[in-house]
Amino acid sequence: MPDNPLSWGLEQQRVPQPCAVVIFGATGDLTRRKLMPALFRLAEQRQLPAGFTVIAVARKPMSDEAYAAFVRDALVEHKVITEGDHALWTSFAQGIRYVQGEFQDPTGYQRLAETLAEVDATRGTGGRRLFYLATPPPAFPVIVQQIGQAGINQTPPEGWSRLIIEKPFGTDLASARALNHELHAVFAEYQIYRIDHYLGKETVQNILVLRFANGIFEPLWNRRYIDHVQITVAESVGVEGRGDYYETAGVSRDMLQNHMLQLLTLVGMEPPVAFDANAVRDEKVKVLRALRPIPPDELDARTVRAQYAAGAVGGRPVPGYREEPDVPPTSSTETYAALEVYLDDWRWAGVPFFLRSGKRLAKRATEIAITYTNPPLRLFRNAVGDGVEPNVLTLRIQPDEGVSMKFMAKLPGQVMDLRPVQMDFDYGASFATAPPEAYERLLLDAMLGDSTLFIRSDEVEAAWAFADPIISGWHERAAVRLPEYAAGSWGPAEAEALIEREGRRWRRL
Amino acid sequence: MNATDALRLDETFDLDAGRIEAALRTLWQEAAEQSDGMPVARVQVMNLIVYTEDATGLGFIEEVLSLLPERHPCRVVVLEVDADQPRPLSATVSARCLINPLGGRKVCAEEIRIQAGTDTRATLVDALRPLLVTDLPVVLWWTGRPRPADPVFRRFGAELVDRVLVDSALFRDPGAGLLALARWKDDARVRATVADLAWERVRPWRHLLAQTVDPPEARTRLPLLSDVSIGHAGDGAPPEEALLLAGWLAASLRWIPEDSPAHGRVTLRAGARAVTLRFEPTAVTPGPLHHVRLGAADGTTYSVRAADQSGLGICTVEGPDTARMERMVPFTHREPAQVALAAIGRPGHDPVYAAALAAAAEIALLGATA
């Protein structure tokens, strides 16, 4: 492609080529809450090209205009636009089309093919199309199969077709492989974009920047200097009316197998040879493959799972998990998990990674804390205070995104009084520009053909290969009553015991 | 939105660097005492020198400085020069602190204000030297009309600062002014780079135009462009912004200014091809520019124009083989203080501006603005 000399010297504002985004499940919650707001914000930021088109596919009969009104209501409801906003909305709405169809009905795909041909001709989308499956996962195979049969995954030479799917990518290793097999029958792997929205968060991407764009951290990023790593994904909310979903997922499928292992890969990976999709993902896969399996006989020693009981969050009484709607009173689904895991590779051999995630914990917080080893010699033996505490580098993912470093300092005065102090970097206070929402970033990346922040099939399978035996081991113990923790606490006593056995303790967040 | 709070020592000093530093230390202690336990962070990313001879412009300078701690915390030295009468050098110090209404950290930036007169003006460069924070970039924001021939302006550029920010739109004669600025920049004795508020005002136009011609089929037409028209405010000569935009197009697309066959028209040479550039005065514009239209030899046109509705722009592509495509986009109208703030924070040398300025000066030299 020829260069664009007019873009020289301007901040990189990435704008994809004119294309059509085809959303299956276009009247669903994800589309209303996340996708349409993200697409409109991209338009507001001038990051969508002229001719950009959204083709909505859903079951209800509806006209283009009626669907545009549905989208407008969603944008008003989510405070993306106000009732009075006209000009920009009118321009955006010109690119909205609606196609009615059942997911398994070939005639709907024929109508979709006609609409795609129409927008290629009238809006210059040139056979560039991004299929977004915002549907329940069981519908993925049939939609992909029908796309293949209708031939709309085929494009002219200047075009492209890509597919975005949302997690969960299977419910275990076997189903993940089966899903990959079905996707690969229609789309090549390079055309498939598996979303884990965590990877779209700015601070998650900043893990790589912190590690690989600074000279001071990477030399200390290994078993010689690091005592242990804690990764916490804590939620203060319960199942929020999604008890039936959560019963099939539990924290293991909802958080552990995807978000937590993704964070682990970013902390644990080797420097990629380039910042491109395959180089980064190659390194992430190596981390997943280096995860030491937890055999059944070590499950009790290295993992804890638990369920929240009634308690209070933010001063408000909340029910226990088994009292939540759509949750059976005998449920043995875990709402909390803590694990001690190891990476058997040159960099991390012997360094424990403690992972914990749960619902109805004391507060919402996601962070990665890297605890360094103590100095080799206790030089300040006669110091006042509690002695030397280890340095901790904390990467705060949400909320209050930032980086902080704890180190020791001397209090001013005649005596040697040592105190830990915190050096803080706060993204919100340091940059005037608000970071883009994860979906904005990921949708734009997919339109631009950059799959760095998406998950490759081998990553999915490697993550399942590690998580599957743990989950099935837990399920074999289903008869054993789960430990409980009070809603609003930091988890069960068993989790404290897990980490304290190693002489360490969970961070207070 | 964060609020700023000012701390000031009610004392005027001789221009003694040691006393000024001591006064600043006192100020920091006061800031810490008044912070109710909040940590006070002293952050400096540069030295900013603000030069003014116009007391009526101080309000605007204050507005910009009040926004500084949030975006570009730095040591600020404001030079208030009385151009009509002698005055000994004197200084006051103060600090502006950014206060997060939700509590937490308080970020402060310090400010030294120096008064000078006709007799002491020439000594400012030497007097300032010990007052700058070591090893940080030094930016001079020259408010008022740029004076490339002024010895003090020249000394700043040659000896003290890394970057000089001016507003070329304040030149009396746009063409002659840009020419003078281009020559000053190319003077071997000047080590500072030059930045321009007029160029900053052109930036959103550059962004939109670059986006409009970014699709692959549009890029292939760039070598086929044969007509450019730039709509600008007023009914006379094009303002600096229009000249800089024309200079930018010429420099980026490697067009060489060749002739000005008529008022407001320039012929540029693009290899074997000629490109016609027209400046089109437009009665009602929200800013100095109204539209830019690029026409290719095959009849396709790419245009960007300010919409009637404030804060919006319209990008249009149309041609014999393509349906007319119009896109309404946000076209941020920035307040002058925001423009100044953005320009202050842009780092280092801008080769695109240097090339645009040189080409704009050549276009002006052809008499297009006469």
Q: Is the pLDDT of residue A349 over 90?
A: yes
> In degrees, to the nearest 5, what angle opens at C-alpha B29 toward C-alphas B23 and B30?
90
Instruction: State pLDDT tens for residues A86-123.
Output: 778 988 999 999 999 999 999 999 999 999 999 998 88
Neighbours of B200 (CB within 10 A): 22
Check if the beta carbon of residue A424 is closer than 8 Å to that of residue A404: yes
In chain B, which residues have pLDDT < 50?
1-2
Q: Which residues of A touch B216 (CB under 8 A)?
A: 1-2, 17, 158
pLDDT in the model for residue A182: 96
Interface probe with A: pick from B316, B322, B328, most Cβ of A within 10 Å: B328
Instruction: State pLDDT tens for residues A13-28.
Output: 678 888 999 999 999 9
Distance CA(B119)–CA(B127), nearest Å, equals: 13
Check if the beta carbon of residue A95 is closer than 8 Å to that of residue A66: no
Higher pLDDT, B294 or A389: B294
Alpha helices, H only, chain B? 17-33, 58-71, 124-128, 151-155, 174-186, 197-212, 216-219, 240-252, 336-345, 351-365
Cβ B104–A429 below 8 Å, yes or no? yes
Q: Is the pLDDT of residue A83 over 80?
A: no
pLDDT in the model for residue B5: 61
pLDDT in the model for residue A376: 85
The minimal CB distance from B309 to the residues A5, A46, A87 is found for: A87
Mean pLDDT score of chain A: 91
Cβ B323–A1 below 8 Å, yes or no? no
Distance CA(A399)–CA(A233), nearest Å, equals: 11
Instruction: State pLDDT tens for residues A127-165.
Output: 999 999 999 999 999 999 999 999 999 988 889 999 999
Structure tokens at A150: 């209708």
The minimal CB distance from B317 to the residues A50, A90, A91 is found for: A50
The minimal CB distance from B210 to the residues A7, A49, A87 is found for: A7
Beta pairing class for A418-426 and A402-410: antiparallel
Cβ B327–A8 below 8 Å, yes or no? no
Interface probe with A: pick from B68, B70, B214, most Cβ of A within 10 Å: B214
Check if the beta carbon of residue A39 is closer than 8 Å to that of residue A21: yes
Residue in this structure with the two tokens 């012929």, named with its chain if needed: B267
Closest approach of A432 to chain B, Cα-based (Å): 7
Instruction: State pLDDT tens for residues A461-494.
Output: 999 999 999 999 998 877 677 899 999 999 999 9
Distance CA(A318)–CA(A308), nearest Å, equals: 10
Alpha helices, H only, A185-333? 202-212, 243-251, 261-268, 277-290, 299-302
Q: Which residues of A touch B315 (CB under 8 A)?
A: 50
Check if the beta carbon of residue B226 is closer than 8 Å to that of residue B339: no
- Catalytic machinery residues of A: 259
The minimal CB distance from B219 to the residues A2, A18, A51 is found for: A2
Closest approach of B216 to chain A, Cα-based (Å): 6
pLDDT in the model for residue A417: 78
Higher pLDDT, A82 or B31: A82
Instruction: State pLDDT tens for residues A199-216.
Output: 888 778 889 999 999 999
pLDDT in the model for residue B1: 38
* Contacts with B165 (C-beta within 8 Å, 6 or more apart), sequence order: B139, B140, B141, B142, B194, B195, B196, B197, B340, B343, B344
pLDDT in the model for residue B126: 86
pLDDT (average), residues A385-393: 81
Beta pairing class for A392-398 and A402-410: antiparallel
Check if the beta carbon of residue B257 is closer than 8 Å to that of residue B243: no
Q: Which residues of A touch B199 (CB under 8 A)?
A: none
Distance CA(A487)–CA(A317), nearest Å, equals: 9
Check if the beta carbon of residue A351 is closer than 8 Å to that of residue A228: yes
Cβ B330–A124 below 8 Å, yes or no? no
pLDDT in the model for residue B63: 93
**With bands split at pLDDT 50, 70 and 90, how would you rate the model's confidence at A339?**
very high
Which chain B residue has its CA at the smallest distance from A18's CA? B215
Neighbours of A331 (CB within 10 A): 18
Does ipTM come in above 0.90?
A: no
Q: Which residues of A touch B104 (CB under 8 A)?
A: 426, 429
pLDDT in the model for residue A379: 81
- What is the CATH code for B200-334+358-365? 3.30.360
Q: Which residues of A touch B211 (CB under 8 A)?
A: 13, 15, 46, 49
Amino acid at B14: D
Check if the beta carbon of residue B228 is closer than 8 Å to that of residue B295: yes
Q: Encode A118-140: b = buried (16+ Cβ within 10 Å), e = exposed.
A: ebbeebbbbbbbbbbbbbebeeb
Q: Is the pLDDT of residue A267 over 70?
A: yes
In chain B, domain spans: 3-196, 200-334+358-365
Q: What is the pTM of this model?
A: 0.80
**For residue B328, what are the β-bridge partners?**
B314
Q: Which residues of A touch B203 (CB under 8 A)?
A: 10
